[in-house]
Amino acid sequence: MMGPDKNKLYPNETIKTVCYISNLPKRANVEIGDYTYYSDNKKSPEQFYDAIDLIILKTWRLRIILLS
């Protein structure tokens, strides 16, 4: 059985509210596993970094590691 292609932005092309965040532009302080995904039903999942920016706020040395 084949799973989703980790090299595509969307694991399922028909569901645009879920994306693999490892395929978004990279940031130096964020490490992301190959199969780590993000889902946002209110905004585009491509805005993942905007969502974590709200969490980080003024903490500029924070290193985030997300593993699948």
30-51 residue pLDDT tens: 888 888 888 888 888 888 888 7
Say how far apart CA 49 and CA 25 lie, in whole Å: 9
Ranges of each domain in the chain: 18-66
Cα–Cα–Cα angle for 6, 23, 14, rounded to 5 degrees: 65
CA–CA separation, 58 and 42 (whole Å): 24
- 14 CA to centre of own chain: 18
Q: What is the pTM of this model?
A: 0.69
Mean pLDDT, the chain, integer: 79
